[in-house]
Structure 1
Amino acid sequence: MKKGKRNLIIIEIVGLLLALLWISPFYLMIVNAFKTKREIFEGVLGVPDEFTSTNFVQAFIDLDFLQSLFNSLLVTGVSVGILIFFSSMAGYALARNKSKLSGLLLLMFVSAMLIPFQSVMIPLVSLFGQVDMLNQVGLIFMYLGFGSSLSIFLYHGAMTGVSVSLDEAAIIDGANKFQTFWYIILPLLKPISVTVAILNTIWIWNDYLLPSLVLGEANATIPLKMFYFFGQYTKQWHLALAGLTIAIIPVVIGYFFAQKQIIEGVAEGAVK
């Protein structure tokens, strides 16, 4: 056997093992979602004796899934939209205005990524409680603050590859700064915008800690509702796993629709 072919076989085997490793959590979640509570405790690796949708129906009801899904979509969609809008403008302004102040502002945004949320969550919640903003509006505003640093950093990096001559041509044609950004620059930033949207969507959609401090029962998102299955003395794993399976479906669907743009955006961001 030739050396090149042997190396290719080794790479394929390693790739297959890594794929099995990454898929195993999904296998465990989906298989056990079809089991009864007793079958889960008897063994988590095997397939159920009889596949049933009872767990999914009960989890759907217990989660109040449609309301929880609406709450998650509202918070995630509005937060990501606002993040993209303001972060892209900030990245554009910082990239086009070369000065010590813009460099300092960019450094501050990048440095803010190193601040752990746990160090500011108590004073943050206390402050928002004083102005009566412990609700979905306050949560979206917090996500804007915590998500801006990485988003601005990515947009600033992408802007280094966009020629200044485009701005000059637009201004000569009579466009103002906002029109230049909105109609000329922002469409060119589509790959990075998709990447920013995906990164923040996964983070906000799955976030538990911040919504648990801000939202009440009526506005609870899916991650908050998931803890309905975990009590002090009992844990309903069969319903929890069924609920988790239902909860990840919207994110998985969104990812498969946008995977081409995601790959392009990540590759472009890496090059920049």
Structure 2
Amino acid sequence: MKKKWNVKLEVLGLLLAILWLAPFYLMFVNSFKSKKEIFMDTISPPENWSFDNYITAFEELDFMQTLFNSLLITVISVVLIIIFSAMAAYALSRAKSKLSTVLFFTFVAAMLIPFQSVMIPLVTVFGKFEMLNRGGLIFMYIGFGASLSIFLYHGALNNIPRSLDEAATIDGANRFQVFWYIIFPILKPITVTVAILNIIWIWNDYLLPSLVINTPGSETIPLKMFFFFGEYTKQWHLALAGLTLAIIPVIIFYFFAQREIIKGVSDGAVK
């Protein structure tokens, strides 16, 4: 009975995997077709596998510069979100007072505010300070990403006993050393979760860069990808090739970080 149940689960898992991989298959095979071939037959592999779409997309996207912009913005934003959010959550969790409680719930409440309600005044204010550039975009990502990150870190820190802080303090460590050398390494599982959530969000974000980035050569990949979709024409063959190029860095990141990602998720589940 148990064996039959395991077989059913394996079949279900296989079907879900096929369903999940189907969009990637369609994107990949159609990236080698001409626009005419895509509309004639979307599902079948191309008759002639040509890299012309990739060469054109690579040139039109100015891919190396655009990739650098996306990597720069994503890496700096995520690193700063992790550092500032972890430190803020540590201070709020250890300082048990009415002020710390109010501040924490303020961060939680900020997650409920839709971005569309603040985007116009936000762009107006940043424009007055001449921060409608990559630096300003990173600053915005830190602000918007802090609320959820602090919430996640705060929940994890509540499960870490204060006796660790007290023992390290008795041994001569100051507040910063207690956090950086004792507490922060213990937060590794939740740090992996925070990093994944913010990397996915920032790497794929289109709306915020479209409002902030207005200098040629500073565009991110999602922003530059809009080049293939005009008012009267849509170059699906080039867009699909560009999308395939865009996900390669994410696949490489997962390939090298999969052990830490899986370990972080499993450790977080156990905790």
Q: Is the structural similarity TM-score above 0.5? A: yes
Q: 2:51 aligns with which of 30, 53, 59?
A: 53
Q: Which residue pairs with 2:229 in the alignment?
A: 230
TM-aligned CA deviation for residue 223 of structure 1: 0.6
In the alignment, the residues of structure 1 paired with residue 116 and residue 265 of structure 2 have an alpha-carbon distance, to the nearest angstrom, of: 28
Partner-residue secondary structure (3-state), 1:232: coil
Moved more, 51-60 or 102-111: 102-111
Q: Which residue pairs with 1:168 in the alignment?
A: 166
Which residue type is aligned with residue 230 of structure 1? F
In the alignment, the residues of structure 2 paired with residue 261 and residue 8 of structure 1 have an alpha-carbon distance, to the nearest angstrom, of: 28
TM-aligned CA deviation for residue 68 of structure 1: 0.3
Contact 1:55 1:239 in 2 (8 A): yes
Distance change in 2, residues 1:170/1:82 (3 Å): same
Q: Which residue pairs with 1:89 in the alignment?
A: 87
Contact 1:154 1:269 in 2 (8 A): no
Contact 1:157 1:269 in 2 (8 A): no
Q: Give the length in aligned residue pairs.
A: 270
Moved more, 38-47 or 256-265: 256-265
In the alignment, the residues of structure 2 paired with residue 262 and residue 46 of structure 1 have an alpha-carbon distance, to the nearest angstrom, of: 34
Distance change in 2, residues 1:250/1:213 (3 Å): same
In the alignment, the residues of structure 1 paired with residue 86 and residue 158 of structure 2 have an alpha-carbon distance, to the nearest angstrom, of: 13
In the alignment, the residues of structure 2 paired with residue 191 and residue 77 of structure 1 have an alpha-carbon distance, to the nearest angstrom, of: 19
Q: Which residue pairs with 1:187 in the alignment?
A: 185
Q: Which residue pairs with 2:3 in the alignment?
A: 5
Distance change in 2, residues 1:258/1:95 (3 Å): same
Moved more, 213-222 or 8-17: 8-17
Partner-residue secondary structure (3-state), 1:147: helix
Distance change in 2, residues 1:271/1:124 (3 Å): farther
In the alignment, the residues of structure 2 paired with residue 262 and residue 110 of structure 1 have an alpha-carbon distance, to the nearest angstrom, of: 25
Moved more, 152-161 or 58-67: 152-161
Quick one: percent identity of the two aligned structures? 66
Q: Which residue pairs with 1:244 in the alignment?
A: 243
Q: Which residue pairs with 2:122 in the alignment?
A: 124
| TM-score for the superposition, normalised by structure 2 | 0.95
In the alignment, the residues of structure 2 paired with residue 150 and residue 263 of structure 1 have an alpha-carbon distance, to the nearest angstrom, of: 21
CA-atom RMSD in angstroms: 1.4
In the alignment, the residues of structure 2 paired with residue 5 and residue 172 of structure 1 have an alpha-carbon distance, to the nearest angstrom, of: 56
Q: Which residue pairs with 1:265 in the alignment?
A: 264
Q: Deviations over 1:71-121 (max 9, x none)?
A: 101111111111011000011111111222222222111121111111110
TM-aligned CA deviation for residue 271 of structure 1: 5.4
Contact 1:95 1:156 in 2 (8 A): yes
Q: Which residue pairs with 1:73 in the alignment?
A: 71
Q: Deviations over 1:134-180 (max 9, x none)?
A: 11111111101110011011111111222212211221222211121
Contact 1:84 1:197 in 2 (8 A): yes
Contact 1:158 1:268 in 2 (8 A): no
In the alignment, the residues of structure 2 paired with residue 95 and residue 260 of structure 1 have an alpha-carbon distance, to the nearest angstrom, of: 30
In the alignment, the residues of structure 1 paired with residue 144 and residue 268 of structure 2 have an alpha-carbon distance, to the nearest angstrom, of: 20
| TM-score for the superposition, normalised by structure 1 | 0.95
Which residue type is aligned with residue 46 of structure 1? S
Q: Which residue pairs with 2:97 in the alignment?
A: 99
Moved more, 161-170 or 230-239: 161-170
Q: Which residue pairs with 1:44 in the alignment?
A: 42
Partner-residue secondary structure (3-state), 2:77: helix
Structure 1 position 200 matched with structure 2 position 198: yes
Q: Which residue pairs with 1:158 in the alignment?
A: 156
Gaps (5+ residues) in structure 2?
none
Structure 1 position 133 matched with structure 2 position 108: no
In the alignment, the residues of structure 2 paired with residue 241 and residue 229 of structure 1 have an alpha-carbon distance, to the nearest angstrom, of: 10
